[in-house]
Amino acid sequence: MSGYKEAFKKAFPYTIPVLTGYLFIGIAFGVMYAEKGYSFLWAVLMSLLVYAGSGQYLAVNFLVPGVSFLQVIFMTLMVNIRHIFYGISLLEKFNKMGKKRWYMIFGLTDETYSLLCTTRIPEGVEEDKFLFAISIMDQSYWVIGSAIGGLAGTLIPFNSEGIDFAMTALFVVIFVEQWMDKKNRIPEVIGIAAAVICLQVFGADSFVLPSMILIILVLFMIKPRLERKEDDICQ
């Protein structure tokens, strides 16, 4: 366990924004789960073993009679298919992490991905342990929030109408934070443009996957230019 204590200590401040977001969104998920009549323990177990964020919100709405298991799997895959592209961009980092890479793959969420890509490794800490600490802490916040929400939803009556918008709000906050933090905003502009174009072409129900593919293709095409621009900004 050498070095892990220091890694967790130095990683914690970077995860505070995720802590504040995941606690409240996890609570919202737990409340929704409790309203379906399930024990808070099931909400905790789902957050431990599934840990899919928006996929879990989607699953709550499918926990009704008449919905097939295959339908749940397919819809969850569609909602979280963006993680394929996340994983591709982190292959090099994960391959250096030995057995920890299996948990890193499992624990990759939108917010964790943002931290893994943008956080500079502090001095005196091994990169693999630092990134592992970020992933572990992020999931722990989500699990704790789910437990609190599940218990609160069981004990206190809630009107959960609109509570699932909490996940969308978190995505918006992450985007705005990255927009303000970067001087080179070309990737963000490409993402917005691709989403708008695909929304018009494919419609609101089917635009996510085409948007991701279009974004990846454009970014690969202009990668050399982006790298040169990044170097100019850093100088």
Is 55:29 a contact under the CB 8 Å cutoff?
A: no
CB atoms within 10 A of CB 16: 11
Q: Please, what are the averages of pLDDT over each run of 10 residues along the chain (235 residues)? A: 86 92 88 85 91 80 69 70 78 89 92 88 92 96 94 78 66 72 78 91 82 82 70 42
Q: Compute the distance between CA of residue 149 and CA of residue 142 in angstroms, rounded to an integer.
A: 10
DSSP H or E segment with residue 156: none
Asked if residue 4 is part of any domain, the answer here is no
Same domain flag for 21 and 122: yes
Which pLDDT value is given to residue 234?
37
**Same-domain pairing of 150 and 52:** yes
Last residue within a domain, chosen from 110, 136, 163: 163
- Please report where in the chains the tokens 């996940």 appear, as a residue: 167
Residue pair 75/186 in contact (Cβ under 8 Å)? The answer is: no
**Angle of helix 82-89 versus helix 110-118 axis, rounded to 10:** 20
Tabulate helix, strand, coil % of the chain (nearest 5).
75, 0, 25
185: tokens are 């905003």
Tally of structural domains, the chain: 2
Tell me: do 138 and 73 sit in the same domain. Answer: yes
Find, among 11, 17, 8, 35, the residue nearest to 178 by Cα. Answer: 17
Q: What is the DSSP letter of 122?
A: P
Tell me: do 102 and 208 sit in the same domain.
no
Inside any domain, residue 173: no
Say if 125 falls within a structural domain.
Answer: yes
Residue 124 sits in the same domain as residue 198: no
User: Do 59 and 139 have their domain in common?
Assistant: yes
Residue type, 146: S
Single residue among 100, 133, 163 that ends a domain in this structure: 163
Gyration radius of the chain's alpha carbons: 19
In a domain, 177, yes or no: no
